A = this chain, B = another copy of it.
Amino acid sequence: MDRPLYERIAAEIRHQIASGRLPVGAALPSESQLCEQWGASRGPVRQALAALRAEGIIGGGQGKPPVVRSQAVTQPFETFLSFSRWAHDLGRTPGQRTLEIARRPASPEAAEALRVSEGEPVVELLRLRSLDGTPAMIERTTFIWSVGRLLFDHDCDSGSIFAFLSGQGVDLARGRHVFDAVNADATDSELLEIPPGAALLRERRHTSTTAGEPLEYSDDRYRPDIVSFTIENSQQAARPALLRTQGLVS
């Protein structure tokens, strides 16, 4: 038990929520009560609560004791991370063609993004994803070696890589996605069957473990007439719901 105190407190509360001892909607013990229970000062207690708040599993505000929010649902995360799963839920048929899988020394950008030393081996993957046979997205992914090496023993055209890696015990827990737009280059336009220079929706994805260690990053380019992204929000909900949506042909 040499983990920091605030981590142990957070873990204990998480456990109580997961086990149902703290049902959804219930108020947590106040900070001072937690301090007594653990014989700790408010510092670690607040740090633990802040971590739980960042994970979205508790809510509350000034003056009000924190309350248990809805149970953790992994669905949205998986749906968002996995193109295959998303397409499947939509009733469409996902397709994938792996154009290249290679072991390479990490480029400076890859080394930065994956926090490895430059020149360390990484695995680069180039895939064309489609919906009902129509090219929809180009995926340029770079994995750290310990994860990417698993892909050489896997038929990448058979289905979801995310599902495969999860099954192999890879801790794909957190994701960061940056969206912007780019003009299609020669490769993009040829593979996606669009004119050169057409605007593409780009998602740059960084996936890491629970502890925040990078596992992969990706540059995904979507045909905007096939795929778009939707956010729904309301002033009540603290966090918005993200959905990947089928592009509108407007």
Please report A residues at the B interface, Cβ cutoff 8 Å.
Answer: 54-57, 59, 69-74, 76-77, 80, 115, 172-183, 197-202, 206, 210, 222, 224, 228-242, 245, 247-248
Contacts and interface: CB of A to CB of B under 8 A. Distances in A.
B76 A245 contact: no
Contacts of A236: 55-57, 72, 173
Nearest to A232: B176
Contact of A240 (B71, B77, B172, B201): B77
Contacts of A199: 181-183, 199-200
Given A179-B230, A199-B199, A242 B239 contact: yes
A76 B238 contact: yes
A57 B236 CA distance: 7
A197 B201 CA distance: 14
B178 A72 contact: yes
A180 to B, nearest CB: 4
Contact of A235 (B74, B222, B232): B74
Contact of A242 (B173, B224, B233, B248): B233
A77 B57 CA distance: 17
A73 to B, nearest CB: 5
B178 A181 contact: no
Contact of A180 (B176, B201, B231): B201
A229 B178 contact: yes
Given A54-B54, A80-B240, A201 B179 contact: yes
A231 B81 CA distance: 12
Contact of A181 (B70, B76, B201, B240): B201
B238 A231 contact: no
Contacts of A239: 56, 76-77, 237-242
Contacts of A175: 231-234, 240
A223 to B, nearest CB: 9
A115 to B, nearest CB: 8
